[in-house]
Structure 1
Amino acid sequence: MLPYSLENDYLNKKCVLFIGAGISSRVVRDDGTRLPGWYSFVNELVEYGFTHNAIEVETRRDLDKMIKENKLIAVAQLVIDELKEAEFQNFLSEIFYNVKPNDAIYPLICQMYFRAIITTNFDTLIEDAFQMFASRKIKTWTQQEVRENLAQMDEQFLLKLHGTYERQGTVILGLQGYLKNIYKNDIVSRIMETLLISNSFLFIGYGLNDPDFNNLLDHINVISENNNRIHYLAVERGKISDVEKKYLKKHRNIAVLEYDNLTGFHEGLLDILEELKKKKAL
């Protein structure tokens, strides 16, 4: 069963959906491989930098070691520093161009109503899905475009918090990008703070070792210091210990929603969304 508070917020259109890389990695590309999650994405970025002579053998070894130590944001920043702008844009396009929302979770999300959808993913799968499966389009902005669209924030919108791959100038992938475009972006902070006042957040496609998720939690904690509203993280059953759950609830205001993953394709996540979708107001 889902928590009553989550059901109630969803029914009252006071639930914001956060979508992480784990959702994009459900999608199959034309060559039969899946889109990379955050860990695989950084590995592919390092490989690209190495094969394009942007990083040397010894540096590659150091970066591989840093990846094993989960220093993914630092690794991404170091590789980006060495790539030319055109090379980085080409890397992004090689991964994300012409990828289609061919997983069942996308039409399901389009059939639901969330106050807003926020993603840290660079792909265009969510907005493409709304074009394909929804009776309505969704207003879509990157973190750089929200200022000029503040007047439309009362409607449902998709915020691409880390940018979109087709426009490299919007993409946030390193420490400096996070600092400049998220933490020091007063408009983004104001929007997040406004949403936090009256909405619960539901995180899907994130893990506890995901730097995107941890950066989001840090940012949310800073701007919601006196707000005790509970938010929700959907994770595979058994991936988080009871001690970690207790910590998340007490210090992060995050309640864990566990789901089964018997097939390896996280089918239980769809069950959570389906259950939420079926809820009707009394």
Structure 2
Amino acid sequence: MAPEPPRRLIDAFQKHKLALFIGSGLSLGADVAGNFPTWRQLSERLLDVCETRGLKEPDWIQSKRNIFQGRMSLEETLHELGTLRTALARYYRAALRDIFRPRNASPGAAHRAVKALAVPAVLTTNYDQLLEIADPLPGRQPYTWQHADEALDDLRNGYKVLLKVHGSAEYHESIVMSAVEYIAARSHPPYHAVLSYLLQDNTFLFAGYGMNDPHDLDLVLKANADAFRASAQEHFALLLNPSPADVDRYFNNYHVKVIPYSQHQDVKDFLEALARPPAHGVATTHMPPAPRTGAAAPQQSRSRPSGGLRISVIVKVAAWLPWARFDAGDVELAHEVKIGDHAILSIRAPEEAQIAIRRRAPGAGQAVPVQLAAARRTGSNLALEFQMPGPPGEHVFELWEIIDGSEQLADRTTCTARIR
């Protein structure tokens, strides 16, 4: 029997703050057509192409088969896959097409359940096109990691996107499979900035993904968990018969709670249960519309003892423009950004708090209100979005709490951005 979706996931889904991360497990379902390979089978299939095309001597091919059949570290595996790509040369694109774009490819019930959820963002490490077949254009626009910034722009404008974080077989130059390709993806600032933003702005559900990708996704997950600590966004992972050690590792390293299941059918059933309307008597929570003024969502006036509100600043970051990052505390207070760049200031504050941003321009004696483009709240996390104003120079941004109609400067809530 499939596990029941936790309340936190249901709330995220109802608030349109649920993102799905789909791994290779869904492509290996018994009801999926296309004969897609496991990671170990992939090397065998690529070597078969080398052999059929006569690209290498039989002894070389057999030695590589022996290597892949033995125990290897991830680094060794990536290196050997790189040698196969080099050996395939101009046949590499055709090999990817034949393996990951077979003519008989057909998604399974779990892929159709992903479509039925209709969440704004679906991410996948899979090279195949099963998710695109299940949810084709114009329903969901696919992007590779190389165009992650465009995917985020679509999301912010209300479109559903599929972000293929390890590339897609029809664009062989986007594939992330070897050590060199991992380095290229890891060195692509917009891609990692978008991943970090999505992981902190949404609740993720991982399905069919083993969380064993330390060169890329695990690095981002752990960086977010370390940076935000107790305030990090909580995520969930469906895992087949996990060990207690796996459960502890997921939560301690990545702030991901494991949802155990016992058979592959459970994944489809779990996703379908998540998509069902709430039972009678269970209220659906709706997010209020984002305000367009300098304050966060309107609240009733209230009184608070003198001394102001101590707000724990999590991070200040222009999430999809990595060069516009500026952090709280003693770490990296000043970064160069451009006039007109978008910034997101994420803070942690009580749900009843009203927050405004003020800015002190270079040489100005008084801070003035900042016009917000949007304000989004998830529990105690509040994301305030605005455009970087002029003139060029060093600007100081302050967080103010609105109490009884007047603004009071909160403790330890100033940061600096150098605008050019």
**So what's the TM-score if we normalise by structure 2?**
0.58
Greater per-residue strand proportion: 2
1:35-69: CA deviations, max 9, x gaps?
Answer: 11222222212332244333442453245334432
2:44 match: 43
Against the structure 1 CA distance between its residues 62 and 128, is the aligned structure 2 distance closer, same or farther, given a 3 Å change threshold?
closer
Please state if 1:8 is matched with 2:6: no
Please state if 1:146 is matched with 2:114: no
CA distance in 1, matches of 2:152, 2:107: 32
CA distance in 2, matches of 1:207, 1:143: 19
**Secondary structure at 1:193 match in 2:** helix
2:189 match: 186
1:65 match: 67
1:159 match: 163
2:111 to 106, 114, 126: 106
| Alpha carbons 2:40, 2:68 under 8 Å: kept | no
Which is higher, the Rg of structure 1 or of structure 2?
2
1:129 match: 134
| Alpha carbons 2:200, 2:224 under 8 Å: kept | no
Amino acid at match of 1:252: Y
Please state if 1:118 is matched with 2:123: yes
Q: How does 1:52-91 map to 2 (within 5 A)?
A: 52-56=53-57, 57-58=59-60, 60-70=62-72, 71=74, 72-85=77-90, 87-91=91-95
CA distance in 1, matches of 2:276, 2:36: 29
Amino acid at match of 1:91: A
Against the structure 1 CA distance between its residues 244 and 223, is the aligned structure 2 distance closer, same or farther, given a 3 Å change threshold?
closer
Against the structure 1 CA distance between its residues 67 and 252, is the aligned structure 2 distance closer, same or farther, given a 3 Å change threshold?
farther
Note the C-alpha offset of 1:171.
1.6
**Secondary structure at 1:108 match in 2:** helix
CA distance in 1, matches of 2:277, 2:69: 42
1:130-151: CA deviations, max 9, x gaps?
Answer: 139xxx5112111222345553
Against the structure 1 CA distance between its residues 78 and 256, is the aligned structure 2 distance closer, same or farther, given a 3 Å change threshold?
same
Note the C-alpha offset of 1:230.
2.0
**Secondary structure at 1:90 match in 2:** helix
1:67-119: CA deviations, max 9, x gaps?
Answer: 4324432321121122213x111111112232433411222211112230011
Note the C-alpha offset of 1:279.
4.6
**Secondary structure at 2:169 match in 1:** coil
Structural RMSD (CA): 2.3
Note the C-alpha offset of 1:164.
1.4
Q: Higher relative contact order by CA 8 Å / sep ≥ 6: 1 or 2?
A: 1
1:225-257: CA deviations, max 9, x gaps?
Answer: 3232222221212xx211221122112212111
1:164-195: CA deviations, max 9, x gaps?
Answer: 111212222111111112x1111111111111
Greater per-residue helix proportion: 1
1:199 match: 202
| Alpha carbons 2:225, 2:255 under 8 Å: kept | no
1:253 to 214, 239, 255: 255
1:272 to 263, 266, 270: 270
Note the C-alpha offset of 1:223.
4.6
Note the C-alpha offset of 1:273.
0.7
**So what's the TM-score if we normalise by structure 1?**
0.84
Q: How does 1:169-184 map to 2 (within 5 A)?
A: 169-181=173-185, 183-184=186-187
> What are the ranges of 5 or more consecutive residues in structure 2 without an aligned counterpart?
284-420
What is the count of residue pairs matched by the alignment? 265
CA distance in 1, matches of 2:155, 2:216: 23
1:220 match: 221
CA distance in 1, matches of 2:69, 2:83: 12
CA distance in 1, matches of 2:277, 2:70: 42
1:230 match: 234
Against the structure 1 CA distance between its residues 224 and 246, is the aligned structure 2 distance closer, same or farther, given a 3 Å change threshold?
closer
Amino acid at match of 2:194: I
Against the structure 1 CA distance between its residues 190 and 102, is the aligned structure 2 distance closer, same or farther, given a 3 Å change threshold?
closer
CA distance in 1, matches of 2:222, 2:204: 13
